[in-house]
Structure 1
Amino acid sequence: MLESIVEGVAACAKVSRVAVFALTSDEHYTFGAGIKCMEETRELHFSKTHPFVRWIRIHAHSISRSMLRHIEHVEQRILIEQMLDQTGAEVILPLFGRERLNGWLCVGRACSGAPFGLRNIEELTEMAEQVSVAIENSLLHENIALQKAMAENLLQAIPSGIIAIGRDGTVRWFNNGAEQLLGRSASELIGRPVEKVSSAIASMLHRCIDGKEAGEAQEWSEPISQKKMSILTRCLEQAGQCVGAMAVLNDLTQEHILRERQNNLERARFWNELSSAISHQIRNPLVAISTFSQLLPERHKDEEFRDQFQKLVLQEVEQLNSMITQLDEYANPPTLNFTPINISTLLDDAAKKADNTKEELNHSGSITITCSDELPLVNVDSEVMAQSIARLLQNSYLATHEHKTPKISIRASCGEIGIDRPAVIIEVTDNGPGIPEELQPNVYSPFCTTKNSGVGLGLPIVRRTMIDHGGLIDIRSSSKGTTVRLTLPTTERQ
């Protein structure tokens, strides 16, 4: 481009010599192109702090030999004269862009040999302004091209698969990661309908364009290879208008393998712990029953003994039955039936389910429920969720039954889960002695319990219920009491 500029200037201005100095990527001004220029001119280069560069940037006007006598400072006059001599120029014209000095134009004598007059310099100045615009546009174009190339290289280097479509559903981008994950070539898909990639991916992207974008990544299995992937879709916008959509694909195969391996290890550890806990929990009732059974032949006529024996057997069998019920519930969770429900109704049901524990302990306290009728609905299995909250209330009854002034409360309020996801927060609080500090890291582990009986499956069951409902559970406990915080997503979306 610079060669074309100097040729055009030489032809239009009818001068014998033209040179252009331009700013390079390393922030230096060097010889860019020229006609009939001296060899020493071609070797010139200037830093941005060079005295001549500073002078022309400050004064921002053309300079000619005829104007040298008007420069008051001798040092500056000598500097400009040297520059004119080194470049063989009669006139030097600055080339300014929008925000910086992009270079300068050096123009030699007219081909006729006549000196430049004021009109000639004005014409050259107008020409220099046009050259400045051309150089500025060229630099902008180069910068945009560089940024585009870097962006393309970056998108191609990302291991994740990236598929982009236009609003018409045509594939516009299909990077190397997508080629490797899906086993398809970009050349056969770009410019084709996205349905050629996959009907499932096409459906997700079209839903995104229609404003039904899923906020979270969805898992998907590639039909042919059965490769597990996560797909995150996003709308592509320009000036506030949707112009297409993109999907980001990540391979989850290795993650699934590691997760399955971890699950197998945890399952093996679970059954080892379970067998140990069961043997201990079963042995105690059986020892008591066995002891009384051995004494029965000798004391079967003793009515008091028979009454004790009957009560003991019933009590121990009931304990065994309770433990088996918990184990069965933990090992075989029920199929969930999700329905929208009012929080107030859910909490009332939970409180009623915990009444049996209150009566058994002859507990003197009561549950205080704080819940606004304006809270949004939650989509839960009402029976399973109410039973889980009831378990927390039962724990609170057990923790406070010896307290002189027991306090148990449930508070429901609005909150968020993740980013921009409305939620309802349920807090169950009591003023019991709290969970011992050494047990707190393991409260969600089966068989971790502060009770004298039972296998400690209550909190693990509650935690699994929250996970199944897409919620969170958090426990904070001290010597002054315990608060269990449940966070449930609502049926509303922001």
Structure 2
Amino acid sequence: MTAQSEVIQKTYAREEPCSSLMKTILVLAQNPELPNAIRSALESHPYRIIHRPDLEEAEPLLRHGALDACLVDADQPQVQAMWIIEKLREFAPGVPILVFSTVRSPEWEEVAYLRGVAHVLGKPIRGRLLHTFLERLPTPSPKPVSAPRPVRPPGGGGGGIVAPVRVDPAGVLDELTRLLPHAYSVRDLFSQLLPALRTSLGVHRVVAFLRQPLPVEGGQPSLNESRRLHSVAAVGISPKVLQNFELSLDSGVGALLGEPVHLLRRTSEEVAASPSAQQELDVLGVESVVALMEGQVVLGLLGMGSRIDGCPLDPGVVEKVFYLAEKTASAVQQIWANERVLANHGMMTDILRELNSACVVIGRDLRILHANKAARTLFLPPADNQAEPTFSDLPQTLCSRIYQVLKTGTAVPAFKHRPPETPARLFQVTIIPFQSKETLLPDSALLVMEDQTQSEQLKRLEIEAANLRLVRTMADRLAHEIGNALVPVSTHQQLLPTRHKDPEFRQSLESALASSVKRIARLVNQMVFLAQDRPMSVESLPVVTLVEDAFREAQRHLPIQTATLKQSNESTTATVAGDREALKHALAEVFLNALQANPSDAKVAVRTYESPTDAGARSLRIDIMDNGDGFASETAQQATDAFFTTRSVGLGLGLTVTRKVIESHQGRLEVIPSEGRRGGLVSISLPTELEE
């Protein structure tokens, strides 16, 4: 015997046997106060009390003829109470009727007795008196039931009579269990399940409650909402009762269900200890509740009323109901999962439809599964853009890439595409494979084509505008610098006619011409090296000699008699590969900055050593240090930017040219912030051999 079977057996072991000595009493009352009071008053006597709120729900009991008496709550309009009595006489002529009323009216009682009422009793309930009246009531004769009509075999032959067909509850439940996996809607599932369940079990009513399913992408329901149980279907219960009625997993019946309790009866100890659970069972008019569980999670519950004949359900049938509830919970979970998939699919379809980019989903068999409006407009003629495109409508270059993605499962890098018929348009193309964990190859691929025509035009205009700004700035700075260089020459040119024979003047003129030529020649060299993307010539250059030549070049532009250069080399024969003039100019710009950092007492130190690159190639590192104030963090970041300078003279292109030359030689330039250390530090890395 399984654990579930033991629970069911223990639950039903407490049920009273279906005995002919027990009388079944129907209580018709809108509120549960009267039936509760009657139960308390008759607790020690063999009566089965069944409460129904109205005639509509009590009709199956009355027509079946399984009642010994009917007790009516007359605390309502007298006309309504009298109408109920007449209907009771119509539905069950032989069932005795007892009426309870708080206010006694002799005239109304007289009419009630004339209509067939056995006794009119007052409130509150007096148990001994009620028991005495019930014992004295005659036992109603059972309603005659016609015998089942024999069924003869088809064809009218002389075969024997076939026995009447009888419904096997266990067989019906097994059949329902097999049908559950084929359900696609929760409401359709229960609208078919509950009537069949009610018929097979022979109960008055069946009701199903479920919690809210998890929403589609976008969060989870609130804690209170996720713990509530809402009615999804019911048979034998008035819709008005369920309209504003809900259960909760935190109180009442819902709080009692779960591990290890999967089944509750009205007579169980758990229900007896929970007034809220008793009240919920009374409102619903059910006698037993089975949990709908998926694993350890309670998804909902099934509530079943009492049997029409008053007997409890057979434990074997209840065990079948329990397993049916397990299968029903699994079916509900699967339906919810399918609904989430469909909702996600619909949401993705809506998203793709609204995108301005052309989006096409292609299946593994090269069928177009989805194409949004932008895709149809792009790939189809104007007259056919409302039709669905086929794979052959796509450009050949895209078809080959899509086929490659579907056959290999590897996404291709994003690429640019210009349609042959409209070469002025430019698209950024992305092809993404959709692949599940269980498959080796993708089930489909998503083609996204983003129109970048306008953005490319804007980018080109922005570059042109930036170039114009750069030219304007460069022209302004060059004009200013060349003008400054020509001022001494212009001054001497004006004095030349009158002082050309003066030796002092001639010496001053020579000095001015030399200074101006050097300044202008430096500007010309800067422009030349900025325009070069690669070295003009490549040779092996000794680092020691290169550093000394560059330092002398810097001193030529800024002659400081006390300036000193100190080299510290791991190897005096170390060499770098590159253009001699370009590298000498690049190092001279760094040395010139070092000399300007402390003009009164310039001291420059150079340290060279091997430092392999990240790729493992041989590289030589040249650290140039001065004894100036050093570089602040912000200055170090901007030092190599074009036209950046901290002085009032100069173009601000020195370190910019150095960086351009070093990078064209596959090297790297770093300006190191001082961070409390005195002196500036510029580090240059150059390869010993240039790659092709």
SS at match of 1:5: helix
Task: Return the alpha-carbon distance in structure 2 between the equivalents of residues 425 and 149 of structure 1.
Answer: 58
Cα distance, 1:29 vs structure 2: 1.3
Q: Mark the CA change 1:424 to 1:364 in structure 2 (over 3 Å): closer, same or farther.
A: closer
Answer whether contact 2:567 2:607 (CA < 8 A) is retained.
yes
Verify: 1:358 aligned to 2:558, yes or no: no
Select the residue among 238, 241, 246 that pairs with 2:436. Answer: 238
Map of 1:296-335 to 2, 5 A cutoff? 313=513, 316-330=516-530, 332-334=531-533
Alignment of structure 1 residues 41-440 onto 2, 5 Å: 41-43=241-243, 44-57=245-258, 59-65=260-266, 68=267, 70-71=268-269, 74-76=272-274, 78-110=275-307, 114-166=311-363, 171-175=368-372, 188-189=388-389, 192=391, 196-202=393-399, 205=402, 217-223=414-420, 224=422, 226-239=424-437, 241-243=440-442, 245-293=445-493, 313=513, 316-330=516-530, 332-334=531-533, 356-361=549-554, 364-366=565-567, 393-400=587-594, 403-404=602-603, 406-409=605-608, 412=611, 429-432=623-626, 433=628, 434-435=630-631
Unaligned runs of 5+ residues in structure 2 are: 1-188, 214-224, 556-563, 572-576, 596-600, 688-692
1:108 to 1:485, Cα distance in 2 relative to 1, 3 A: farther
Alignment check: 8 A CA contact 1:350 1:389 kept: no
Contact 2:606 2:625 in 1 (8 A): yes
Query: Is the deviation greater in 54-63 or in 263-272?
Result: 263-272
Write the letter of the residue equivalent to 1:117: D
Aligned-partner residue type, residue 681 of structure 2: T
Q: How far apart are the structure 2 equivalents of 1:12 and 1:20? A: 16
User: How big is the shift at 1:277?
Assistant: 1.9
SS of 1:95's partner is strand
- Cα deviation digits, residues 385-405 of structure 1 (max 9, x gap): x98876653333334456546
Distance 1:396 1:474, change over 3 A: closer
Counterpart amino acid of residue 283 in structure 1: G
Question: Which has the higher mean CA deviation after the structures are superposed, 282-291 or 296-305?
Answer: 296-305
Q: What corresponds to 1:447 in structure 2?
A: 643
Counterpart residue number, 1:5: 193
Q: Which moved more, 1:282-291 or 1:1-10?
A: 282-291
CA contact (8 A) 1:353 1:387 kept: no
Correspondence for 2:231: 31
Residue identity in the other structure for 1:431: M
Answer yes or no: is the 8 Å Cα contact 1:5–1:131 preserved in 2.
no
User: For 1:419-474, what per-residue CA distance to the aligned partner results, in whole angstroms no more than 9, with x for missing partners?
Assistant: xxx99999764323335778667545433346898633344456678999999976
Is the 2:569–2:609 Cα contact (8 Å) retained in structure 1? yes
Q: Deviations over 1:9-33 (max 9, x none)?
A: 2354454532222223443312211
Cα deviation for residue 104 of structure 1 reads: 1.2
Contact 1:40 1:86 in 2 (8 A): no
Looking at structure 2, the residues matched to 33 and 487 of structure 1 have their Cα atoms a distance apart, in angstroms, of 81
Structure 2 CA distance, aligned partners of 1:232 and 1:133? 40
Whole-angstrom distance in 2 between the partners of 1:29 and 1:12: 25
Aligned length, in residue pairs: 454
CA distance in 2, matches of 1:230, 1:352: 51
1:246 deviation in Å?
Answer: 4.0
Q: Write the deviation string for residues 192-214 of structure 1: whole angstroms up to 9, x where unpaired.
A: 25xx4344544555666658756
- CA distance in 2 between counterparts of 1:459 and 1:118 reads 94
Secondary structure of 1:238's counterpart equals: coil
Deviation at 1:96, TM superposition (A): 0.7
CA shift in 2, pair 1:275/1:367, >3 Å: farther
Which of the numbers 15, 22, 31 marks the counterpart of 2:210?
Answer: 22
Task: Work out the CA distance in 2 between the residues paired with 1:366 and 1:231.
Answer: 55
Match of 2:182 in 1: none
Cα distance in 1 for residues equivalent to 2:303 and 2:480: 98
Long gaps (5+) in structure 1 = 338-344, 371-381, 417-421, 489-494
Q: What SS does the aligned partner of 1:406 have?
A: strand
TM-score, normalised on structure 2?
A: 0.53
How much does 1:93 deviate?
1.3
- Look up the SS of the partner of 1:188 in the other structure: coil
Residues of 1 paired with 2:263 and 2:617: CA distance? 68
Output the CA distance in 2 between the equivalents of 1:143 and 1:482.
62
| Cα distance in structure 1, aligned partners of 2:658 and 2:409 | 35
Q: Distance in 2 between matches of 1:383 and 1:435?
A: 28
Q: Which has the larger radius of gyration?
A: 2
Q: Which residue of structure 1 aligns with residue 113 of structure 2?
A: none
8 Å CA contact 2:289–2:303 kept in 1: the answer is yes
- Secondary structure, aligned partner of 1:323: helix
Q: Note if contact 2:253-2:276 (Cα within 8 Å) is conserved in structure 1.
A: yes
Partners of 1:329 and 1:316 lie apart in 2 by: 20
Residue 477 in structure 1 maps to residue 673 in structure 2: yes
> 2:204, 2:305 within 8 Å by CA — same for their partners in 1?
yes
Match of 1:149, as an amino acid? G
Distance 1:21 1:487 in 2: 77
Identity %: 19
Counterparts in 2 of 1:168 and 1:472: CA distance versus 1, 3 Å: farther
**Farther-moved stretch of structure 1 (26-35 vs 311-320):** 311-320
